[in-house]
Amino acid sequence: MSSGKTPEYAAEETWRVFRILSELIDGFSLMSGLGPGVSVFGSARTGRRDPMYRDAQEVGKKLAQEGFAVITGGGPGIMEAANRGAHAVKGRSVGLNIALPMEQRSNPYQNISMSFHYFFCRKLMFVKYSVAFVCFPGGFGTLDEFFESMTLIQTQKIDPFPIILYGSKFWKGLVKWMDGVVLRGYHNIPSSHPGRGRRADHYTLKMTND
């Protein structure tokens, strides 16, 4: 029985593999000598007058002053703010941009940057080269990064590392639901797990007060 797929389709899929491989190689080459980094996530829609923008800028600055590379998605909003803070003190300011039909535009505060076509290649770089995540208020992209990191920690695909949720007003409802419903109500996630030679709390979360 024919699959209905043309030879042209098969050739296109083969070339797609090479494009993915190229992005991974370029990403590894760019990031391998970076040193310890902290990824900062948050909404691209956050305006420059928003208090969260100013807070993200200060976080980026302080991280850079402590010797961490500041890694963001390279776009506007919270990403721009964190890059801007690191750039202001001549720190390593990394932007891992993504090609999107709307919203995404590169901010000018990156001294290390790369543009990705595939989200999963880009997300690999965030996880592989970060020692912590800082999640500011954001949308689906921020939530995606948060939940993927929690999944990788739970399944022991990566070592546990700090995940800081910045802005308790924004995050406390989600954390309460995870603890009260997902964990205690339905027992769908463990409260703790063996973590490569040590016990590690499943919630590697810290939630800051504004």
pLDDT for residue 194: 47
Structural domain harbouring 105: 7-207
**Is residue 123, in this structure, part of any structural domain at all?**
yes
Domain CATH for 147: 3.40.50.450
**Is residue 1, in this structure, part of any structural domain at all?**
no
pLDDT for residue 6: 73
Q: How far is CA 61 from the centre of its chain?
A: 18
**Is residue 97, in this structure, part of any structural domain at all?**
yes
**Is residue 36, in this structure, part of any structural domain at all?**
yes
Q: How far is CA 37 from CA 59, 126, 145, 152, in A?
A: 13, 9, 16, 18
**Mind listing the pLDDT tens digit for each residue in 77-134?**
999 999 999 999 999 999 999 988 765 689 999 999 999 999 999 999 999 999 999 9
Average pLDDT, the chain: 90
**Mind listing the pLDDT tens digit for each residue in 174-194?**
999 999 999 999 999 987 654
**Is residue 128, in this structure, part of any structural domain at all?**
yes
Mean predicted confidence (pLDDT) in 54-60: 98
**Is residue 18, in this structure, part of any structural domain at all?**
yes
Q: How many domains does the chain have?
A: 1
**Is residue 101, in this structure, part of any structural domain at all?**
yes
pLDDT for residue 9: 67
pLDDT at 206 > cutoff 80: no
**Is residue 193, in this structure, part of any structural domain at all?**
yes
Taking alpha carbons only, the member of 77, 2, 71 closest to residue 39 is 71
